[in-house]
């Protein structure tokens, strides 16, 4: 693995400590992740941040949706908000997975962060996860006054499958006439079920995420036998949307990892947004693999984290507190 891919030296040194994602035994993967997340949440420093949660109405006929909220202690509204969608291949994860990252964004931006707990595949395939994300966004806006949120200053943020959901949510919210969002921040987005890009074909052995895991996750999200067919909705796989269908979306920032099967679909999506007249910024982070954010001490990750925060700060139109670069998602 090492000789084939020119990983950043700090990232390569940390690879033995990073667990592989094994989706074939989903129960074991979920249990392992839940234990790791519980320990990380218990150890986290929440000083300066009020952490809580609310429940908002879910999609028609479905359960309510939980939003985990991070609010700067003592802050007076109306605050900008980051609507955060966690990753996990559509099959794993919870808002708590991004606990450290959400704390960082809350502190650094002086913003409310609302992280949505959407239902997971394969038990709940498309469109259930996306509809949960839409219901959560709608609930956040409907309670904006009570929560002290400025509804015109809500940015979407997502990682991996969460970034794919964020891109799908931007399309869905536009087509349903709201709620309006001011920005979409897509980190290593999963956008294309066809797995036909050069990076999706090439990276079969990369750490954390590879072609096999991508195929498993899309099969879980779409249902077996659907991936790669003509029946896939662009709301599920936004790479399926034509350039004309992307017009009128909010501005975007797309970051991709160099040695990641998802790399090229993120690049292609940024180019398609630009072709549609949507302002888009693209950053390929060199020497990285999917999930390299976990190596929080690496210089390349610290630099990428600082940029991600500054991009969101600009998008939200704020000049929130500036702090040194701290830990990112672990």
Catalytic residue positions, numbered: 160, 260, 290
CA distance 220 to 116: 20
Are 186 and 252 contacting, i.e. CB atoms less than 8 angstroms apart? yes
Q: At CA 303, angle to CA 38 and CA 166, rounded to 5?
A: 60
- Cβ–Cβ < 8 Å for 327, 294: no
| Alpha carbon distance 89, 82 (integer Å) | 21
CA 56, chain centre distance (Å) = 21
Helix axes 161-175, 128-142, angle to 10 degrees: 60
**Structural contact between residues 227 and 193, judged by C-beta atoms closer than 8 angstroms:** yes
The Cα 136–Cα 83 span in angstroms is: 9
Distance between CA 193 and CA 214 in Å, rounded? 8
Q: How far apart are CA 265 and CA 233, in angstroms?
A: 16
Do you find a cis peptide bond into 239, omega within 30 degrees of 0?
A: no
CA atoms within 13 A on the CB side of 59: 13
- Smallest Cα–Cα separation from 171: which of 123, 226, 237, 115? 237
How far is the C-alpha of 267 from the C-alpha of 247, rounded, in Å? 17
């Amino acid at each position: 693995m090492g000789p084939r891919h020119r990983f950043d030296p700090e990232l390569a040194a940390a690879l033995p400590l990073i667990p592989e994602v094994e989706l074939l035994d989903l129960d074991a993967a979920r249990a392992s992740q839940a234990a790791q997340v519980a320990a990380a949440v218990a150890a986290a420093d929440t000083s300066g941040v009020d952490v809580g949660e609310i429940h908002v109405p879910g999609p028609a006929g479905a359960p309510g949706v939980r939003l985990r909220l991070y609010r700067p202690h003592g802050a007076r509204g109306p605050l900008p908000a980051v609507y955060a969608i966690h990753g996990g291949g559509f099959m794993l994860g919870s808002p708590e997975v991004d606990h450290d990252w959400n704390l960082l964004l809350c502190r650094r931006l002086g913003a409310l962060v609302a992280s949505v707990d959407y239902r997971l595949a394969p038990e709940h395939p498309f469109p259930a996860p996306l509809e949960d994300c839409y219901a959560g966004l709608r609930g956040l806006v409907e309670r904006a006054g009570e929560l002290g949120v400025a509804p015109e200053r809500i940015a979407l943020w997502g990682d991996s499958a969460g970034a794919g959901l964020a891109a799908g949510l931007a399309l869905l919210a536009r087509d349903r006439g709201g709620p309006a969002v001011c920005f979409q921040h897509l980190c290593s987005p999963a956008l294309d079920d066809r797995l036909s890009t050069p990076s999706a074909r090439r990276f079969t052995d990369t750490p954390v995420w590879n072609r096999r895991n991508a195929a498993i996750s899309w099969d879980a999200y779409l249902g077996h036998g659907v991936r790669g067919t003509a029946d896939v909705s662009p709301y599920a796989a936004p790479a399926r949307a034509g350039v004309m269908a992307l017009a009128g979306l909010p501005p975007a920032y797309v970051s991709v990892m160099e040695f990641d099967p998802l790399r090229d679909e993120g690049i292609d999506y940024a180019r398609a947004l630009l072709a549609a007249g949507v302002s888009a910024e693209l950053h390929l982070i060199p020497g990285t693999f999917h999930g390299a954010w976990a190596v929080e001490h690496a210089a390349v990750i610290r630099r990428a984290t600082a940029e991600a925060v500054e991009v969101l700060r600009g998008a939200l139109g704020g000049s929130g507190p500036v702090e040194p670069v701290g830990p990112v998602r672990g």
